[in-house]
Amino acid sequence: MERLLLRWVINAVALYVAVGTGWLSGVHAGNTTVLAFLVMALVFTVVNAFLRPVLKLLTCPLILLTLGLFTLIINTFLFWITGVIGNWLPGGYGYTMDNFLWAFLGALLVSVVNTVLTLVFKEELKGNRHKRD
């Protein structure tokens, strides 16, 4: 449970960096409260859990043909769809992008921040699964 909460907070921080800081002027948040980023992170986690495996399976030949670079396009789509679903929720918890380039940069920034934070909290995310006395 602790790992799940930590993963959720990492996703929220990554989305805050990409959407809420203003670094990407083409990505606009509908709501910039802490609750909004926690809701966005929850939507992002669910979208990634259900759509990512399906999309990777369906686009496996393209992923192999581009030596894995097509996963960046998948990440862009997942970032975009998270914003769309968030906008459907009452309270306007989503975000919008001006064009594909901003969606791509947003997805790239979320991926980088997520990777860095995952490396920082690597031990906490491992948990006690493989500990032996």
Residue with tokens 């393209």: 62
* Residue range 62-119, pLDDT digits in tens: 999 999 999 999 999 999 999 999 999 988 899 999 999 999 999 999 999 999 999 9
Render pLDDT for 29-58 as a digit per residue (tens, 0 to 9). Answer: 988 899 999 999 999 999 998 999 999 999
CA 55 to CA 79: how far, in whole Å?
13
**CA pair distance 67, 36, nearest whole angstrom:** 36
